[in-house]
Amino acid sequence: MALDATTKATLEAALVAAAATTICPICGTDGLELLPGVLLIPLQPDAKELSLAGAQSPMCLRGCRNCGYVAMHCMGILDPWLKRDLRTNTPDHPWD
């Protein structure tokens, strides 16, 4: 899933507001940049049983242009507007 321009701009602004640096924690270069897609993390309601049918948390990713390190940022924490299940486009995350 590629990020549309509005979502990308919202995320970039939210990362700046959160003081999320673009300095890579691995190689130290100023090289972290937003990747063009998101990663959906399944939220497991029960640690004893694996289920893929529950809510998912969308994560935006920033990759280092120098060493390839990838950082994840929870989109729902960065910006409440982005706090939704991207499969159904509904705001049904457990933290609501």
Q: Which residues bind Zn ion (CB under 5 A)?
A: 24, 26-27, 64, 66-67, 69
- Taking the least distance from each CB to Zn ion, the nearer of 13 and 72 is 72
Q: Measured from the CB of residue 29, what is the shortest distance to Zn ion in angstroms?
A: 6
Q: Measure the CA angle with vertex 29, ends 25 and 35; round to 5°.
A: 75
Burial of 11 (0-12, 13-18, 19+ CB in 10 A): buried
Which residue lies nearer to Zn ion by CB, 17 or 27? 27
> Closest distance between Zn ion and the C-beta of residue 9, in Å?
24
Provide, rounded to whole angstroms, the least separation between the CB of residue 39 and Zn ion: 19
Distance CA 54, CA 51 (A): 7
